[in-house]
Amino acid sequence: MEESNKFIRLCTFESFKEIWSHYGFGTDQRDLIQREFTRIKDVTYLDHAGTTLFPESLIKRFYEDITRNLYGNPHSHNPSSQMTHDTVESVRYRILEHLNTSPEEYSVIFTAGCTAALKLVADSFPWVSASAEGSGSLFCYLTDNHTSVVGIHGVTGPQGVGTVPVLPQEVEARAQNNPLSGSDGDECLVPHLFCYPAQSNFSGRKYPLSYVRGIQSQCLYPACEHRGRWFVLLDAACFVGCSPLDLKQHPADFVPISFYKMFGFPTGLGALLVRNEVAGLLRKSYFGGGTVSAYLVDEDYFVPKPHIASRFEDGTISFLDIISLHHGFDALLKFTGGMVNIQLHTFGLARYTYMILSCLRHSNGRPVAQIYCDNEFENAAEQGAVINFNLLDGYGRVVGYSQVDKMASLFNIHLRTGCFCNTGACQAYLNISNQQVKSNLEAGHVCGDNIDLIEGRPTGSIRISFGYISSFEDCQRFLKFIANNFVAKPLRLAQERLARLQSASAAEGCSSSEELTTAPTPRPARYSLDISPAPSPETLTQEAFLKAEKSSGKTCTLTNIFIYPIKSCAAFEVTEWPLGPQGLLYDHMWMVVNENGVCLSQKREPKLCLIHPHICLASNTLRLQASGMDPISLPLETSEESPGPRTCRSKICGDRVQTVDCGERVSLWLSEFLEKPCSLIRQSPDFTRHMKIGQEDGVSPVALSLVNEAQFLLINRASVALLMDYIINR
């Protein structure tokens, strides 16, 4: 079979089933998506490790709950606060139950998220500083940790606490069978902390949960080399999204989590689970409302509350959000039957995608993707539903992740790029030295920007991650997107490798007794790019010719002038046009915003391009036309007399802009056409915004309208023709 046909065959649900037998949760996955996730229609959402998505009924149930019941502040004692208190307690119980433990073993401290939980440990762990008497505590962590874990170092460093970064391979390689005997007194009481992720947020690699007991019993490195009491912090934030965690079997001392990674809602809520046995060791310094049994305002006297949760939850907890967790657990159980099923479903999707992606080859046989992983996605105990990779071109050069990200956005594929708040893993997999991190910073690259390549070397990578709502179609669309856009044709496959991976699957994956759910017929995918054709020479008007001399002496001819009065709407072509202080007069003077004042672009709202604005300078009006709508006109200038135009602040490319609302009439018109609440806003006449890039010292700043970066956007015919060529020949 020809290899590209073989690829097409691999991208079918039948092939998926040959590789993995668990799919969905006993109902048609597409029905579930249509019922509960209408907002991801046409979207391939592959960033569940960033945040997973909540089902719509979760919010409905939550809304019904808090409108039916009266929940007061849990610190009061009236019936409504008692109601809150009791409900919150039942949520704590449910969290413990979910992690297979009980209030006898663990306490739940609610925090603002996993990061806040980690900071709480940093601030309250009983660190002992190194001194003449002894070497003090150690803060040890796997280098493949989230920034929020490594950041504990910012607290321990200044206290004189030793730091031990541990490479993933060292934990077992340097283990010792006969742990140090605790002979010399005080040293045995010095507390040390070892932190590791149950699942890497970079690569999705799962680290053995047996490390918990291995470190506590001082068999594994680094605990085997240092006397003292060893505590383990298991960062479960990424892991609990798709996997069952059993704290009875693996009794980590501290377990931080964030709830949006499990349920998609609420955000800004997490928890620190603390083993009751160690709770008493934690130090409390700051005391906020609700955390003290007694204190005096004019004396250094305060007595923290005895119970750990009340002692560490400063101020009023986010009680309504906490109550919503009930509905999160309910929804998860109702739709999936539990974490074991979620793990089977999501791991299968990741494994299937990995298998094909890792076998894709350019026409010359070179690989298309470099995947950053430590296993072959054989086993859900070693690998989560995350794939991290970079794409390579036919010469083996890395394709910048920003380029892939932008291309993916055009296809409505949502993935994550960069370093994922995990510099350690990023450096290790991408082979970036400490020196390079520093010189990259000097070259202007900071975490989270879009400088993806420096001297041809990647500064980050691409991550896709699955959740329980992910479907086979998501994998299919993603793989076709890669094959159509980033593979030199004719496409090839690494046949031997594929055969090996497939036979490994047949051997283990399909031996399960679990029932297969009804096979969905994959929807036909849409892969067309809508770019309006280049203007043909015939449409040029003679009057449009303006000449500009280039420093090289070459002459450029301006053939067409397009004005975009409303950002992201259709162009308005003119043959001559006055210039204003911000470039072409009225160009990008208006924009459409949603009900929260957020700018709508064509990427967010493709229908914007069907709105045709027309400026009539003689009558001083802006007229909007769209098919099926009566045209509407409004004045070009916001009149001072109009009863107090609502001013609003929005952001464009990170800049604050001050704008005025153009009124209810046009907002109704737009809302009707776009079928969602929105309004038209105009840049305030007395607001100036300056260009950021390419500004030289001593040159007066360039004023901008609501454009992204500069007053004028010039594009030459050759580029447009090249692009058209490229699109047509794909």
Active-site residues: which are they?
421
Q: Could you tell me whether strands 191-197 and 138-142 are parallel, antiparallel, or unpaired per DSSP bridges?
A: parallel
**Residues contacting 433, CB < 8 A, separation 6+:** 427
Q: Which stretch binds ligand PLP (CB under 6 A): 101-109, 233-241, 535-543, 699-707?
A: 233-241
Residue 254 to residue 275: CA distance in whole angstroms? 7
Q: Which residues between 239 and 258 bind ligand PLP (CB under 6 A)? A: 258
Locate 167 and state its tokens: 């490479």
List, in sequence order, every residue forming a beta bridge with 634; answer none if it has no partner: 622
Q: Kindly state the smallest distance separating residue 168's Cβ from ligand PLP, in Å.
A: 14
Q: Kindly state the smallest distance separating residue 679's Cβ from ligand PLP, in Å.
A: 33
Contact 479, 44 (CB under 8 A): no
Residue 352 to residue 20: CA distance in whole angstroms? 7
**Buried-exposed string 565-599: b where 16+ CB fall within 10 A, e elsewhere:** bbbbbbebebeebeeeebbbbbbbbbbbbbeeeeb
Is 148 an interacting residue with respect to ligand PLP (CB under 6 A)? yes
Q: Which residues between 171 and 230 bind ligand PLP (CB under 6 A)? A: 197, 201
Q: CA 394: distance to chain centroid? A: 29
DSSP state at residue 509: G
Residue 678 to residue 671: CA distance in whole angstroms? 5
What does each C-alpha distance from 319 to 314, 430, 699 come to in angstroms? 13, 43, 54
Closest CB to ligand PLP among residues 202, 586: 202
Closest CB to ligand PLP among residues 237, 404: 237
Q: Which residues between 53 and 72 bind ligand PLP (CB under 6 A)? A: none
**Residues contacting 114, CB < 8 A, separation 6+:** 146, 148, 235, 237, 256, 257, 258, 261, 270
**Residues contacting 503, CB < 8 A, separation 6+:** none
Q: What is the CA radius of gyration of the chain?
A: 30
Residue-level length of the chain: 730
Binding ligand PLP (rule: CB under 6 A), the pick from 91, 114, 273, 368 is: 114
Closest CB to ligand PLP among residues 197, 304: 197
Contact 624, 662 (CB under 8 A): no
DSSP output for 546-591:
EEEE-TTS-EEEE--EEE-SBTTS--EEES---EETTEETTTT-EE
Q: Which stretch binds ligand PLP (CB under 6 A): 185-193, 232-240, 463-471, 605-613?
A: 232-240
Binding ligand PLP (rule: CB under 6 A), the pick from 19, 212, 237, 680 is: 237
Contact 30, 469 (CB under 8 A): no
Q: Kindly state the smallest distance separating residue 260's Cβ from ligand PLP, in Å.
A: 7
Residue 482 to residue 403: CA distance in whole angstroms? 12
Q: Kindly state the smallest distance separating residue 217's Cβ from ligand PLP, in Å.
A: 24
**Omega before 222 within 30 of 0, i.e. cis:** yes
Is 235 an interacting residue with respect to ligand PLP (CB under 6 A)? yes
Q: Kindly state the smallest distance separating residue 169's Cβ from ligand PLP, in Å.
A: 19
Q: Kindly state the smallest distance separating residue 148's Cβ from ligand PLP, in Å.
A: 5
SS3 619: coil
Q: Kindly state the smallest distance separating residue 423's Cβ from ligand PLP, in Å.
A: 13
SS3 529: coil
The one-letter amino acid at 709: E
With CB under 6 A as the rule, give the number of residues binding ligand PLP: 11
Locate 230 and state its tokens: 């060893």
Is 419 an interacting residue with respect to ligand PLP (CB under 6 A)? no
Q: Kindly state the smallest distance separating residue 570's Cβ from ligand PLP, in Å.
A: 40
Closest CB to ligand PLP among residues 418, 509: 418
Contact 193, 168 (CB under 8 A): no
Q: Which stretch binds ligand PLP (CB under 6 A): 112-120, 542-550, 655-663, 681-689?
A: 112-120
Closest CB to ligand PLP among residues 235, 313: 235
Closest CB to ligand PLP among residues 206, 229: 206
Q: CA 721: distance to chain centroid? A: 36
Q: Which stretch binds ligand PLP (CB under 6 A): 2-10, 152-160, 235-243, 276-284?
A: 235-243
Q: Which residues between 349 and 368 bind ligand PLP (CB under 6 A)? A: none
Binding ligand PLP (rule: CB under 6 A), the pick from 146, 192, 206, 250 is: 146
Within 10 angstroms of residue 386's Cβ, the number of other Cβ atoms is 29
DSSP state at residue 361: E
Q: Which residues between 255 and 274 bind ligand PLP (CB under 6 A)? A: 258
Contact 422, 432 (CB under 8 A): no
Q: Which residues between 647 and 706 bind ligand PLP (CB under 6 A)? A: none
Q: Which of 107, 113, 515, 90 has its CA nearest to residue 337?
A: 515
Closest CB to ligand PLP among residues 228, 266: 266
Interface pattern 506-535 for ligand PLP (x via CB under 6 A): ------------------------------
DSSP state at residue 701: P
Q: Kindly state the smallest distance separating residue 98's Cβ from ligand PLP, in Å.
A: 18
Contacts 24+ apart (CB under 8 A), 554-561: 556/716, 559/535, 559/717, 560/535
Locate 525 and state its tokens: 């995918």
The alpha-helical segments, DSSP class H, found in 3-113 are: 3-10, 13-19, 29-36, 56-68, 79-98
Closest CB to ligand PLP among residues 262, 566: 262
Cα maximum dimension of the chain: 96
Q: Kindly state the smallest distance separating residue 317's Cβ from ligand PLP, in Å.
A: 17
Closest CB to ligand PLP among residues 33, 152: 152
Question: What values do phi and psi take at 528, rounded to 5?
Answer: -95, 145
- The residue whose two tokens read 């002692």 is 311
Is 238 an interacting residue with respect to ligand PLP (CB under 6 A)? yes
Closest CB to ligand PLP among residues 21, 115: 115
Q: Kindly state the smallest distance separating residue 48's Cβ from ligand PLP, in Å.
A: 11
Q: Which residues between 277 and 306 bind ligand PLP (CB under 6 A)? A: none
Q: Kindly state the smallest distance separating residue 117's Cβ from ligand PLP, in Å.
A: 8
**Buried-exposed string 473-489: b where 16+ CB fall within 10 A, e elsewhere:** bbbbbbbbbbbebbbee
Positive or negative, the CA dihedral 291, 294, 297, 301 is negative
Q: Kindly state the smallest distance separating residue 32's Cβ from ligand PLP, in Å.
A: 25
Binding ligand PLP (rule: CB under 6 A), the pick from 15, 87, 115, 417 is: 115
In the Cβ-directed half-sphere of 323, how many Cα atoms lie within 13 Å? Answer: 22
- Interface contacts to ligand PLP, rule CB under 6 A: 113-115, 146, 148, 197, 201, 235, 237-238, 258
